[in-house]
Amino acid sequence: MSNIIRVVLADDHVFVRDGIKSLLENEANIEVVGEAIDGADALEVVAAAKPDLLIVDIRMPQLTGIEVVEKLRNDNNNLKIIMLSMHESEEYVLKSIKAGADGYLLKGSSKEEFLKALHTVALGGKYFSGDISSILINQLTNASNSLEPKQTIGEEMMITKREKEILTLLLSGKGNKEIAEALDISKRTAEVHRFNLMKKLKVKNLMELSNKATEYSLL
């Protein structure tokens, strides 16, 4: 990328595009090289102008900003992209990031923040408005917390179909004799299955067995 940041603006409202151009016109190292009035137009303008950075409205006719980003990323496009929006909902933010946007900026952002975002993203960084950052942090925190109690079971602890049947009966309060009758096996066989199951799961009693079954989602 040259010292000049070549920018395409995509927004279906002309006054928004004019406002951004007015904000950027006094910046010596930024040049607006194209404008698009909808999502489909944005793809054509980007293809023709080959900008360094696309500033795209999240809600537009033809294709939404999110769809535009997805299509550009599917083409292995290295273009830097900032999503511009009036909305700071978690759904919009996370969908934009998943699509491949490098930044998410609210339309009410100050000139200083707008320019900071543009330069940060143009240089290869990520930028999200202050309020948006809190959404991301909360999402990451919630994702981390939701994963904590869930464990991945190793091959050495994989249980067979029969052992799963034994486990179900054990946790329902059945004894060896009742398990044998339910599965039409000998009491001795039921005892062996029970012993092997508890040894495999490394538990010593029914309480530990129940906890392990819940922790690893064995049922």
pLDDT tops 50 at residue 147: no
Q: What is the mean pLDDT of residues 168-181?
A: 85
Q: In what order do the strands lie in the sheet with 30-36?
A: 30-36, 5-10, 53-57, 80-85, 103-106, 127-128
Beta carbons of 115 and 27 less than 8 angstroms apart:
yes
pLDDT for 135: 59
Of residues 166 and 214, more confidently modeled: 166
Beta bridge partners, 80, equal: 53
Beta carbons of 58 and 65 less than 8 angstroms apart:
yes
Beta carbons of 43 and 68 less than 8 angstroms apart:
yes
Cα separation of 66 and 52, whole Å?
18
pLDDT for 119: 92
- Same domain flag for 97 and 12: yes
Determine, yes or no, domain membership for 22.
Answer: yes
pLDDT tops 90 at residue 2: no
- Same domain flag for 168 and 117: no
- What pLDDT digit, counting tens, does each position of 24-66 carry? 988 889 999 999 999 999 999 999 999 999 999 999 988 999 9
Q: Which domain CATH number covers 86?
A: 3.40.50.2300
Strand 80-85, strand 127-128: pairing: unpaired
Determine, yes or no, domain membership for 19.
Answer: yes
Number of residues written out for the chain: 219
- What pLDDT digit, counting tens, does each position of 80-90 carry? 999 998 877 77
Cα separation of 93 and 99, whole Å?
10
User: What interhelical angle do 65-74 and 90-99 show, nearest 10?
Assistant: 20
Determine, yes or no, domain membership for 135.
Answer: no
Question: What range does the domain containing 98 cover?
Answer: 5-130
pLDDT for 219: 63
Q: What is the mean pLDDT of residues 98-105?
A: 89
- Same domain flag for 84 and 20: yes
| 155 band by pLDDT with thresholds 50, 70 and 90 | low
Q: Which domain CATH number covers 173?
A: 1.10.10.10
